[in-house]
Chain A
């Protein structure tokens, strides 16, 4: 089974040289720490920065330089700042190659719900609806089941949707999956996890073709 860092490490293997990437809050943010050697990517944060770097050293933080999670950050060589309309021009205009974000629920046709639990949590969608409506390559980083032990990978989402038919890949503590025209296909098992365990934790129908390899995490 993977921990959050393991999920981030597995997603990092999906990064390709030259990608512009938008990282959501939570596990997706951790992906920046595990970019494979020899792969150059630039991280976009929708509040208006491209070329985001690590957190600043203590005492060097600048209130005017933050990411979309409102955390103080630094910028790398080649970075740029821009306004919110231009930021979403990058996103809607499909100039960002990969979007990695968290989810509360994903359905087998690639619908995603991650912004609202009616009556409980109403924080807003932020940039997630714009991102999922336009990105061609969306990876969801999430836990396979909720705190009550119920599957978050469903035949149909129960929570208000963020976007429809958009998720391409899902990485959880148990598995690496791909959303296909025919449903969710199981691609890899997390270390030490069996296909049966994954099926038992998944409400959606999983397509299982041949031997399912165990993922390799360094």
Chain B
């Protein structure tokens, strides 16, 4: 067994430097690597290019890095719900590239799978297609999209073992599995870290080969963005 376990979040984030490109898992605030984000704020790493479906809210998730102006460029599919983000974008302090959500996921998966580029119909005829190569397949125009080239993937899983095998829970799975192994180094934080051999190999969602460093997060707030409930009659 190759041991991927590091003891602390500080150790997990060694090597992340100013100006690097990071892939960060999560959908809204669901399944985000909250311990790593908190540590990036502490480290004051800046000029980052962050690829993440969303940009958090003002006081949680990637919003914390935005507040400290640590992000130079954001690549996302949807960035509502964040006033500071909007302010930085409109003032030109923050560079923003908005891309279709399925394209974002596939650009991660392509990087993970060693596919340099792929054709997708998403965005044809829109400003997303501007300047991109196109090609017709079966009478329909597709646009060429490229795999991400990132320095670190920072993701969150529910359970993991010391060999780096991962299991996700609910919709906290989202972009996390697609980003595993999609950058030079993949860092995983988990809610529960167990010894290798404890998890059933049949139940593993992501094999440890895609993971370089794994640790158990100190605590999880798991904030809910839109608490919607019904009342019992």
Interface residues of A (CB under 8 A from B): 45-49, 54-73, 81-85, 87-88, 91-92, 111, 122-130, 133-134, 160-165
Contact = CB atoms under 8 A, between A and B. Distances in A.
A163 B105 contact: no
Interface in B158-192: 158, 168-178
B contact patch SS? loop
Contact of A125 (B77, B226, B228): B77
A57 B81 CA distance: 25
A56 B173 CA distance: 20
B172 to A, nearest CB: 4
Nearest to B98: A124
Interface residues of B, number: 59
B225 interface: yes
B95 to A, nearest CB: 13
Contacts of B177: 83, 85
A130 B103 contact: yes
B43 interface: no
Interface of A is mostly: loop
Nearest to A82: B173
A174 B68 CA distance: 48
B100 A71 contact: no
Nearest to A84: B105
Given A71-B228, A72-B226, A125 B121 contact: no
B126 A162 contact: yes
B22 to A, nearest CB: 17
Nearest to A113: B126
B229 A63 contact: no
A54 B228 CA distance: 10
B12 interface: no
Contacts of A91: 102
Given A61-B224, A63-B223, A122-B89, A92 B78 contact: no
B27 interface: yes
B106 interface: yes
B101 A48 contact: no
Contacts of A160: 126-127
Contacts of B208: none
A60 B227 CA distance: 11
A83 B121 contact: no
Given A56-B229, A57-B232, A65-B171, A134 B28 contact: no
